[in-house]
Chain A
Amino acid sequence: MKSSLNALLTRLAPQIIALAVILLLNFIMFPQFFNVVIQNGRLYGSLIDVLNRGAPVALLAIGMTLVIATKGIDLSVGAVIAICGAVAASSIVSGHSLASTLLVTIGVGLLCGVWNGFLVALLNIQPIIATLVLMVAGRGIAQLVTEGVIMTFNDEGLIALGSGAFAFLPMPVIIWLVVGALVILLVRRTALGMLIEATGINRRASTLSGVRTPVLLMAVYMLSGLCASIAGIIVAADIKGADANNAGLWLELDAILAVVVGGNSLLGGRFSILGSLIGAMIIQAVNTGILLSGFPPEFNLIIKAVIVIVILVIQSPAVQSAAVVLSRRSSRVTEGQVQ
C-alpha cells in the first residue's frame, strides 16, 4: 500500500510541483491569494475561487482523460455543455421539477456520448473527426433548444447547483470532487481502468485477448458526455441562464490541455484522472492569477500559453529522458534504443 502511494506521488510529482509554483507566483503577485474567510456559511478567497471556477474544466477533464486513454479525443464536450445548459434551462422554465430536469439533462449528455461512441467504436471513424461533428452541430442544436435567445431562469434549486454551498465549500467544488472520486473508484476498483489502458495501447491485441473494445469505447464517450452534461448544468446554474453561443466555448481545448498538463499521453494508454484534475487546477490557477495580477486582458492568453509551454517542455520525453540519463546513465540508454 505504501509503495503504491509512493508510486502515485512519483507519477504526480511534476503536476504537484507545477501547481505549487503557480500558486506561489500568484502569492507573490497578489499577497492576499491564500487568504480564506467564511461568509454566509461559505468559504471565500482566491484559492476557493480557483477550485470553484475550475469546476467545468475539471469535470470535462475526468471524461476526457478516459477518452484520451483509449487513444481518442472528444472535441464535442464544449458543445455538449451548451446543449445540456439549454436543455436544463428550457426544462426548468417549462415547469418541470428539478429532479426530472437533471435527469433529462444528464440523459441528453449520455445520448451525445452514445452518438460519439457510435461513430468511433462502431463506424471506426477517427475520433477527432467523429467528435468534430457534434462540436460543430452542437451549438446549433443548443440554439434550437433556446430558440436563439439567452434563456434565463430563477429556480432556486437549479441556481444552488451553481452558486450554493455545502460544508463551507461552493457546490461546483463538491460536485467535481465527488464525480472525480466516483470515477476514480469506478475505474480503479474494477478492471475498467486496465482494460481501457490496454485498448488504448493496442486495440487489436486487446480484442484478440477477448476484451470487448467497442463496448469500452462506447462507455468512455458516454462518460465524457455525462461529465459534460454535469458541467453544462453548473455553467448554466452559475449565470442563471443558458447561453447557446458562449457556454462552454473552447472548454474542450482547456480540458484536453488539463489532461496533457496532467501528464497523460495523447497517444493513449496509461492515465491518471488525479493528474488531469490537478492539471485543471493548474490551468484555473493560471487564469485566476492573470486576472488578479492586473495585466491587461490582452496578455492573458499569451501568458497562459507561455506557462503551458514551459510545463509541457518540462514534461516532454526529451527533457525527462535527459534527466533520467543524467541520473542513471547506462540502464536507460539501452531502453531508449529499443524504442
Chain B
Amino acid sequence: MIHDFETVLAASGISKFFPGAIALDKVDFSLRKGEVHALLGENGAGKSTLIKCITGAYHRDQGRLVLDGAEINPSDTLAAQKLGIGTVYQEVNLLSNLSVAENLYLGRQPKRFGMIDVRAMNRQARLLLDQYGMDIDVTAQLDRFSVAVQQVVAIARAVDLSGKVLILDEPTASLDTQEVAMLFRIMRDLKDRGLGIVFITHFLEQVYEVSDRITVLRNGKLVGTRETSELSRQSLISMMLGHELAKAEATARAHSVAAGPVKYSFEGYGKRGKVKPFDLEVRVGEVVGVAGLLGSGRTETAELLFGIEHADSGTAKVDGRQVSLSNPRAAIRNGFGFCPEDRKTDGIIGDLSIRENIALALQARRGWARPISRADQNALADRYISALDIRTTDREKPIRLLSGGNQQKAILARWLATNPDFLILDEPTRGIDVGAHAEIIRLIEELCANGMSLIVISSELEELIAYSSRILVLRDREHVAELTGDNVSTARIVDAIAAAQKETEDA
C-alpha cells in the first residue's frame, strides 16, 4: 500500500477558553491523507472541544486550521462540511422517520421540473451505498435498520458531502463485534480512497486494530502523537492517565495504611450490563482508590454503591449487618454520601444559593416538616465556606456562578453537613484549577484521618496513589485487580489495565 504522507488537515496551536477554564491549550494535530488517526483521552481531556473547533461548532480562540494547504475558518458545522470536513456522532444525527435515501440526500435532492425526483434519488442512494457493500432497501424508513446500518448511512452521507476529512466520534460505542468489523472494513476502504479519518473511541484494542497514528490529549493539552505500531499499550495508557512513570515512583506514599475494622463490605455485588459482581471491603479511616479507563465501570460501581442503580446480585453489609441500598435515600440513611462526576447535571442545583445547596442533603434527610432554621442554615453554610475555603462573595450567590472547583467543594460540604461515615467521590478533581485541586486532595486526606471511609474514583493516577491505601483496578466493567501496600504505583496500575487488555485480546 503506497500512501503519500500528505497532510490533509493541520491544526496548530489551537486554544479554546471557557470562563474559568482552559479547555484546549495550544494543541497541535495533523491528519494525513489515507490514514486513520485515533484521538484519545479521558473525559474532559479536550477531545470533543478539539473536534468542535475543527468542525466549526466552536470558534477557536487561538491557532490555525489548514485544510489542503489553505487556511480555513469554518463558521459552523455546515461550512466545515462544505469545505470537506464531515462528522458522524455516536448518536446518529439523522432523521429516523425519513427513508434512507431521503436521509442521504436531504437538502440536496435531485430535482426534475422543480419537483423531487424520487426515483433518481433512490437510484443514486443505491449506487452510493453499494460502494459500502450495503444492499438495503433505500426507500425504507431509517429507524427500521440497526444502529450499525444507520451509522454507515451517516458515514456515506458525510463522505459524499465532504470527502476530505471524516471525523468519527465514538462510532463503535453501541455496536457489537460483527458490526464493529463491518465498520472497520468501511473505514479501511475509505482510507484507501485517500480520506483522512479521525477516530475517537475509548476501546484501546480497536485503536490498535484500525488506526495508523494516535494522538493523546490530557487536561486540554497535547500529550503526544505516535505511530500506532511503535507505541506499546503500557506507554499509551500512561500517556492517557499519568505523567512520567519515574516521577510518580519517586513520590513515596506518605501515609501508612490505617487499618481500622472493616465497616462496609460488599459481596458478589453487581448489576447485569453495568458492573460484573465484585467483592469490596472498606475499612474505617481508609481511602480506597478506583482506577480504570473511561467506560471501565468506574462510575457504574459508584452508582451501584450509592443505590442509584439497583444491584441485582450480591449483598451489602454495614458493620456486619445486611442492608438494602435500593435508592439514594437508603444509602444516605446508612451514612453514605456521593459526589457525582458530572457536577452540572447530577450535583448542583444551579439557581439555588450556596447556602441552600449545602443544606439540601441534610434537609432532605430531616424531612420537609422539620426545616433547618435560616440561622442554622447560615451557620452551616458559613462554617463550610470557611472550612473548605469556598471562594464566593456571599453565601446567597446562586451556585452556578461559582467556578468548578468551588462548586465541587460546595457539593462536598452538602455531604459533610450530613455527617457521613462513607463518602464516594467520583472524579472529585476533574475540570478544576490547580489550586482547588490540591485543596481537595488535602481535604480527602483530612477526612480520612478523621476516621471517615472514602472511595475515590479518579483518572489522575499520581493523585490516587497519593491518598489511597488500596487501589481497585477496573477494566471492561469488571474489577480486575486490587493493589495494596508496595504494589500501589502508577506502573502497577498501568500494568494491571494493560494486562487485562492483552488477556482479552488473546481470548
Contacts and interface: CB of A to CB of B under 8 A. Distances in A.
Same assembly:
yes
Interface of A: 189-192, 194-195, 197-198, 201-202, 204-212, 216, 269-270, 334-335, 337-339
A334 B403 CA distance: 12
Interface stretch (B106-114, B188-196, B358-366): B358-366
A208 B340 contact: yes
A93 B34 CA distance: 86
A209 B360 contact: yes
B349 interface: yes
A337 B18 CA distance: 9
B46 interface: no
B133 to A, nearest CB: 42
Interface in B323-367: 328-329, 332, 338, 340, 345-352, 356, 359-361, 363-367
Nearest to B370: A191
Interface centre among B368, B370, B401, by most A CB within 10 Å? B368
B19 A205 contact: no
Contacts of B475: none
A147 B461 CA distance: 74
Contact of B345 (A205, A209, A334, A335): A205
Interface string B280-310: 0000000000000000000000000010100
A197 B367 CA distance: 15
Contacts of B368: 190-192, 195, 216
B483 interface: no
B345 A204 contact: yes
Q: Which 7 A-B pairs have the closest CB atoms?
A: A210-B364, A191-B371, A211-B364, A209-B361, A210-B332, A191-B368, A192-B368
A270 B351 contact: yes
B271 interface: no
A209 B414 contact: yes
B369 interface: yes
Contacts of A269: 351-352
Given A190-B371, A209-B414, A335-B401, A202 B349 contact: yes
B378 to A, nearest CB: 12
B411 to A, nearest CB: 9
A192 B340 CA distance: 25
B400 interface: yes
Contacts of A204: 345-346
Contacts of B363: 191, 194-195
B354 to A, nearest CB: 13
B361 A210 contact: yes
A210 B365 contact: yes
Given A195-B364, A337-B19, A190 B349 contact: no
Nearest to B371: A191
Interface of B: 19, 306, 308, 328-329, 332, 338, 340, 345-352, 356, 359-361, 363-372, 400-401, 414
B348 A338 contact: no
B364 to A, nearest CB: 4
Given A195-B364, A269-B352, A338-B400, 5 more contacts: A190-B368, A192-B368, A197-B356, A204-B345, A339-B400
A257 B138 CA distance: 48
Contacts of A216: 368
Contacts of B329: 210, 212
B352 A201 contact: yes
Contact of B369 (A190, A210, A339): A190
Which of B348, B361, B363 neighbours the largest number of chain A CB atoms within 10 Å of its CB?
B363
Query: Which of B340, B350, B351 has the largest count of A CB atoms less than 10 A from its CB?
Result: B351
A207 B340 CA distance: 12
A194 B364 CA distance: 10
Contacts of A194: 352, 356, 359-360, 363, 371
Nearest to A199: B349
Nearest to A215: B368
Nearest to B377: A194
Contact of A198 (B349, B369, B371, B401): B349
Nearest to A268: B351
10 contacts: A189-B371, A197-B351, A204-B345, A205-B346, A208-B306, A210-B328, A269-B351, A334-B19, A337-B19, A338-B400
Given A205-B348, A270-B351, A191 B366 contact: yes
Nearest to B400: A338
Q: Which of A191, A201, A204 has the largest number of chain B CB atoms within 10 A?
A: A191
Nearest to B402: A338
Given A205-B347, A209-B361, A191 B332 contact: no
A189 B368 CA distance: 10
B401 A338 contact: yes
A98 to B, nearest CB: 31
A190 B370 CA distance: 6
Contacts of A202: 345, 348-350
A311 B329 CA distance: 43
Contacts of B367: 191
Given A210-B365, A211-B364, A201 B351 contact: yes
A338 B350 CA distance: 12
Contacts of A201: 349-352
A249 B356 CA distance: 39
B48 to A, nearest CB: 20
